Each structure stands twice: as structure tokens, then as C-alpha cells.
């Protein structure tokens, strides 16, 4: 069964979409079977794959509304050449041998989804149930979450086996991490209850191996204006992993 990784942080502009796209492309280049799921109504992941979000027949929005069908009907394959064109790089003959990956696109229609979910039964499990039939087809399923802790984000956390939190080392980015940790813990408890203890707990893994810093779990308070490498911004904050 494929490993589902949510990439989330309610703070915008920290590199969630960039991390999701590049990690997915790198895994595909290594021969892994990869599915990317765009869970943000801004559709930046979809556009980053060279796809026009306004021209899609089926999207993440349709997956939520047709969860009993599974997610296979909304999956499309992204080839390396459209990725190069989207990045403004001309196609080269070397691209032809590269591996593509699959995508469930998003559109701005998802902006209304959070309100629609409020009246649904078991609303936090919709995406998880929709992805179950296709998980065996992939080694990794990467989900790009919106910059919020709404019902869409909670669905993404509930569907995930683990959580990657891209984080910039400054005060504003750190302030919301404790809330994200509490939400993740709450979702993990509900998953264990529903799965009779068989599922993995969603672990907040804040690893980031780019120019951004990586902090592992456990921010209890973070009121200091700065947090230089090797120092704590609050009880439970570990050293950065660069």
C-alpha cells in the first residue's frame, strides 16, 4: 500500500507546493509510482504541472463529492515535457526518457468545499475513503494542503500516514506550528479509534532539506522574536536539520 504524505502548514508562502511538486518529480525520476493531489483551491500545484485548472473535467472537488467512486476517475498523468514548459524551460531530447507522475488537479471551485463539508456525516474521512481504492497503485501519494486548518486540511491530515511541514525560521511561521501539532494529534487519535489501533499515527515531521530549516515536532510556545540555529524557541523545540 502506498505511503500517503501530507505537506501542510497553515502559514502561506513557506514552500508547500514547491516541496510537493519537486519531491514528487524526484521520486518519479527514481522509478517510484507517484500520485500528487492538489488540495488547495489556489491550484498552484496544478498550474505548476503545466495544467490549466479551468480546463479540467474532474478535480479534487469532484473526488470529495463522489468519494464512493474512489479517486481513479479524476487521475491524469503529467509528463516531464509539460513540466519544462510550465517552468519556462525549452524541451530537450533528454526529457523523453524521464518518468512522469499522476495528478489529481484542483480548481477554484474548491473554495466553497469547506462550507459544504460542514453538513456532511463523517466529513473528516471523505478524502481518506476516496483514496483507499488507489493507494495500492502507488508507492507514494503526496497531498498539497491549503494554507489553513479548515475541514479540507483536516481531511488531508486524516488521509495521511505522515506529515511534512515546510517551515521558515522566523516568528510568524513558527506561531502556528503549535496549533498544527494539536490538530494533528487530534486527527491521529480519531484515526486510531476508527481503525481499532491498526493505523499509523500521523507524525508531524517538519523535515525540510532545502534553504529552509527543518524543525522536528513539539513547539509548546514560541514567543521569542528570533530562533537562531542550535537554540530553542520554546520548550520541546529541537535543533534544526539543514
Tell me the average pLDDT across 166-192.
76
Cell numbers representing residue 36 in the block: 500528487
End-to-end CA distance of the chain: 30
DSSP output for 169-212: SSHHHHHTHHHHHHHHHHHHHHHHHHHTT-SPP-EEE----SSS
Q: Which domains does the chain have, with CATH numbers?
A: 3-166 (3.40.50.300)
* Distance from C-alpha of 54 to C-alpha of 57, rounded to nearest angstrom: 9
pLDDT per residue over 34-79, tens digit each?
Answer: 999 999 999 999 999 999 999 999 999 999 999 999 999 999 999 8
pLDDT per residue over 73-99, tens digit each?
Answer: 999 999 866 555 555 554 444 444 457
Q: What burial class does residue 190 get, using C-beta atoms within 10 Å of its C-beta: 0-12 exposed, 13-18 middle, 19+ buried?
A: middle
Cell numbers representing residue 12 in the block: 502561506
* Cα→Cα distances 91→31, 47, 130, 132, 219, Å: 21, 18, 35, 35, 44
Contact 240, 207 (CB under 8 A): no
Grade residue 168 by pLDDT with cuts at 50, 70 and 90: confident
Q: Is the pLDDT of residue 121 over 70?
A: yes
Q: How far is CA 84 from the centre of its chain?
A: 22
Cβ atoms within 10 A of the Cβ of 115, count?
10
Q: How far is CA 130 from the centre of its chain?
A: 16
Contact 163, 6 (CB under 8 A): yes
Say what the alpha-carbon torsion angle 216, 131, 126, 38 is, to the nearest 10 degrees. Answer: 60
Answering whether pTM is above 0.85, one says no
Give φ, ψ of 241 to 5 degrees.
-115, 115
Grade residue 139 by pLDDT with cuts at 50, 70 and 90: very high
CB half-sphere exposure, 109, CA atoms < 13 A: 16
235 or 188: which leads in pLDDT: 188
> Mean pLDDT, the chain, as a whole number?
76
Grade residue 219 by pLDDT with cuts at 50, 70 and 90: very low
Q: Is the pLDDT of residue 23 over 90?
A: yes
Q: Is the pLDDT of residue 24 over 60?
A: yes
Q: Is the pLDDT of residue 7 over 60?
A: yes
Q: Is the pLDDT of residue 22 over 90?
A: yes
Amino acid at each position: 500500500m502506498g505511503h500517503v504524505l501530507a505537506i501542510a502548514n497553515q502559514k502561506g508562502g513557506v514552500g508547500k507546493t514547491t516541496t510537493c511538486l519537486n519531491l514528487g518529480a524526484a521520486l518519479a525520476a527514481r522509478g517510484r509510482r507517484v500520485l500528487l493531489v492538489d488540495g488547495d483551491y489556489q491550484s498552484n500545484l496544478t498550474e505548476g504541472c503545466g495544467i490549466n485548472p479551468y480546463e479540467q473535467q474532474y478535480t479534487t472537488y469532484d473526488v470529495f463529492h463522489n468519494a464512493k467512486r474512489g479517486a481513479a476517475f479524476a487521475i491524469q498523468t503529467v509528463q516531464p515535457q509539460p513540466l519544462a514548459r510550465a517552468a519556462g524551460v525549452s524541451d530537450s531530447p533528454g526529457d523523453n526518457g524521464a518518468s512522469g507522475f499522476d495528478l489529481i488537479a484542483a480548481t477554484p471551485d474548491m473554495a466553497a468545499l469547506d462550507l459544504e463539508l460542514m453538513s456532511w456525516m463523517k466529513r473528516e474521512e471523505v478524502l481518506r475513503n476516496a483514496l483507499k481504492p488507489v493507494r495500492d497503485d502507488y508507492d507514494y501519494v503526496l497531498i498539497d494542503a491549503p494554507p489553513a486548518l479548515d475541514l479540507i486540511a483536516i481531511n488531508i491530515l486524516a488521509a495521511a500516514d505522515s506529515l511534512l511541514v515546510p517551515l521558515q525560521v522566523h516568528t510568524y511561521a513558527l506561531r502556528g506550528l503549535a496549533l498544527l501539532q494539536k490538530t494533528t494529534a487530534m486527527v491521529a487519535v480519531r484515526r486510531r479509534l476508527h481503525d481499532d489501533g491498526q493505523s499509523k499515527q500521523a507524525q508531524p515531521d517538519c523535515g525540510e532539506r532545502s534553504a529552509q530549516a527543518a524543525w522536528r515536532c513539539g513547539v509548546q510556545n514560541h514567543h521569542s522574536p528570533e530562533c537562531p540555529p542550535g537554540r530553542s524557541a520554546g520548550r520541546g523545540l529541537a535543533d534544526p536539520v539543514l
